[in-house]
Structure 1
Amino acid sequence: MSELKKFQVQTARPLPIIVLADTSGSMAVDGKIEALNKGLKDMIASFSSESRLRAEIQVSVITFGGSQAELNLPLTPAHQLQSFTPLVAEGITPLGGALSLASQMIEDSTRVYTPVVVLVSDGYPNDDWEVPFARLINGERSSKATRFAMAIGADADEQMLRDFANDPEAPLFRAENARDIHRFFRAVSMSVSARSQSATPNQSTPLLIPSADDQDWEF
C-alpha cells in the first residue's frame, strides 16, 4: 500500500448526517412532501461531489409517518448514492420511534466525526417521545451531535423543535412554503460541506440561512 493510500485510509473518517423527516399525512398538502423530497435529493447530490480526504459525508434518513418510524436510508456514503427514493406522506407522527432509531445509530457508531442530526416536522408527535428525546439529547455520544431543526407551517410543535436545536446561530428555522424548505436544506448542505473541507471536521459550523431574496443560494 502506498504512503498516500495509507494516509487517506487513516484520516478519512465518516461525517454522519442523520435526517429525521416527518412523513405524516399532513405533509401531503401544500407541496410540503414534494419540497422535502427535492431538498433531500439536492442535498445528497451536493454532498456526493465533496472531497473525501479528511471526512466522508454519510447520509441517513429516518422517517416518522404511517404507523411507525422507519429507517428509510441506512448511513451510506453520499458519493455511493445514485438515487433517492421519494418519501410518501401518510398516517400519524411517531417521532419517538425516530428519535430512538437515531440514538441507537449514533451510540453504535465508532470512529466517526461528530454527527449532524436534522429534524423537520409540521405537527405534534403522536407517540411517547419525551423519553427518547431526552435519551438523544443526553446520550454519551448523541449529546455531542450538532442538531438543526425546521418547523414547517403554523401547526408544528415549535417548543419541541426549539428544544431540539442546539445551533446558537439558528435555534429554529420556520418554513412557510416550499421555497423555505429548499433554503433550509441548502443551508444544511453548506454547513456540512464547510465542515468536511475544514482542517477540523469535528467542529460544528454555523447554519447560515440565505435570505429569501438571495438568488445565489439556489441548488
Structure 2
Amino acid sequence: MALKRFDPSKFTANTAKPLPVMLLLDVSASMGEVLDGTYARTGRTVYEDGQKWELVKGGRTRIDVLNEAVREMLASFAREEQLEHEFLVSVITFGGSALVHLPPTKASKVEWKPLTVAGETPLGEAIALAKKLIEDKETTPSRAFRPVVILVSDGRPDAGWEAPLEAFVASGRSMKCDRIALSIAEGTDEQVLRRFIAGTPNPLFRATDAGQILETFRRVTMSVTLRSKSKDPNQAPAIESVVAASPPAQTQPPAQAPAQAQPPPPAAPPRPVGDPDDGYW
C-alpha cells in the first residue's frame, strides 16, 4: 500500500452558514422609565429626552426589561445553533449617539453587556450605521442567509431620520432584509416604525408593559429560530402565527395581555430593473 503525506491545508471543515440578526435598540433617557416593582420617590426632577421626569429609586425600568428580553433571545439562539447554521447577532443602540454595542457575533459566543440609558433619540444615525454594516460584505458575508433587522423604540426620533430610513428600505442589500418593528411605549411615533417595515408582511407590534415586551421578543425569537430550521431559511414565517416558547421557570413573569399587532403596511414598490445586487438572498 502506497503512502502520501497528509496535508491538512487541503481539507476544510464544514462552516456553519450564518443567519444575521441585527437589533436596533432605543436606549434614550425615556427608556429609564419605571414599569413595575417597588420604588421610592426622591422629590427631584430632570429634563431628559424632551420630557420632564421625576427621579425615583428602585423599580424595574423599561431598559431593565429590554436587557432581560435580549438575554433571553441570545440564550435561545445559542441553544439552537447547529452544525449547518449559526445566528450572527449584532446590536446597534441609539441614545445620545448611535453605537455598535455588539459587533456581529455568533450567539453562543456573546458575553452580554447590559444596556444603559442616555440622551435623546438619534434613530437616523442608527439606521445609517446599520446600513453600513449590512452593505459591507465582509461584515455581513454574501454566504449568509437574508438578515432580519429588529427596530425597538419607545419615543419620537430626533430630526434627520427620513433620508437614512428611505435609503435603508429602498436601496442596496438592506432593502432585502426582513424588517420587524416594535413600539414599547404610549406616544411612540408609529408612523416612523411603519415606514421602516414598509414592503414586508410584518405588522407593527405594540407592547407597553414588561410582560408584553418579553412576550413579543419571544415570538420574534421563535420566528427566527423556525427560519433557521426551514427548507429555505431566507423565507420568514408569519410572526402572527408563531407561538412563543415559554422561558425557563425562574425567569417567567406573571401573565400579561399579549402585545397588539397592527395591520401590515402597503407593499413597497417593485425592485428596479437592473438591480446590481439582484439574486442575492
Q: Same fold, TM exceeding 0.5?
A: yes
Tell me the distance in 2 between the aligned counterparts of 1:124 and 1:150. Answer: 13
Contact 2:183–2:204 under 8 Å retained in 1: yes
Q: How far 1:210 moved relative to its partner?
A: 7.0
Matched with 1:126 is 158
Following TM superposition, the consecutive aligned residue runs of length 4 or more in structure 1 with deviations greater than 3 angstroms are: 208-211, 216-219
Matched with 2:42 is none
Contact 2:154–2:185 under 8 Å retained in 1: yes
Segments of 5+ residues of structure 2 without an aligned counterpart are: 1-7, 35-60, 249-281
Matched with 1:100 is 128
Matched with 1:59 is 89
RMSD of the TM alignment (CA)?
Answer: 2.2
Q: How far 1:5 moved relative to its partner?
A: 6.4
| Greater fraction of residues in helix | 1
- TM-score, structure 1 normalization: 0.88
Counterpart among 132, 137, 140 of residue 169 in structure 2: 137
Please state whether the residue corresponding to 1:208 is helix, strand or coil: helix
Counterpart among 26, 39, 43 of residue 73 in structure 2: 43
Instruction: Tell me the amino acid that sits aligned with residue 29 of structure 1.
Output: E
Contact 1:16–1:116 under 8 Å retained in 2: yes
Tell me the distance in 2 between the aligned counterparts of 1:148 and 1:98. Answer: 15
Contact 1:54–1:196 under 8 Å retained in 2: no
Cα gap change, 1:201 to 1:210, in 2 (>3 Å):
closer
Matched with 2:54 is none
Contact 1:123–1:155 under 8 Å retained in 2: yes
Tell me the distance in 2 between the aligned counterparts of 1:50 and 1:64. Answer: 29
Matched with 1:183 is 215
Contact 2:182–2:205 under 8 Å retained in 1: yes
Contact 2:20–2:144 under 8 Å retained in 1: yes
Tell me the distance in 2 between the aligned counterparts of 1:49 and 1:5. Answer: 25
Identical counterparts, % of pairs: 43
Tell me the distance in 2 between the aligned counterparts of 1:191 and 1:171. Answer: 14
Cα gap change, 1:53 to 1:206, in 2 (>3 Å):
farther
1:157 pairs with 2:189 = yes
Please state whether the residue corresponding to 2:150 is helix, strand or coil: strand
Q: Residue by residue, what CA displacement relative to the aligned partner does 1:50-95 show, whole Å, maximum 9, x if unpaired?
A: 13333211110100002x10000000010111x3111011210000
Segments of 5+ residues of structure 1 without an aligned counterpart are: none
Instruction: Tell me the amino acid that sits aligned with residue 22 of structure 2.
Output: I
Contact 1:103–1:136 under 8 Å retained in 2: yes
Tell me the distance in 2 between the aligned counterparts of 1:122 and 1:99. Answer: 16
Instruction: Tell me the amino acid that sits aligned with residue 31 of structure 2.
Output: M
Cα gap change, 1:187 to 1:5, in 2 (>3 Å):
farther
Q: How far 1:24 moved relative to its partner?
A: 0.3
Tell me the distance in 1 between the aligned counterparts of 2:124 and 2:63. Answer: 20
1:25 pairs with 2:29 = yes
Please state whether the residue corresponding to 2:80 is helix, strand or coil: coil
- From the CA coordinates, give the structure whose radius of gyration is larger: 2
Count of residue pairs brought into register by the alignment? 210
| Greater fraction of residues in strand | 2
Counterpart among 90, 94, 98 of residue 69 in structure 1: 98
Q: Which has the higher contact order (CA 8 A, sep 6+)?
A: 1
Please state whether the residue corresponding to 2:214 is helix, strand or coil: helix
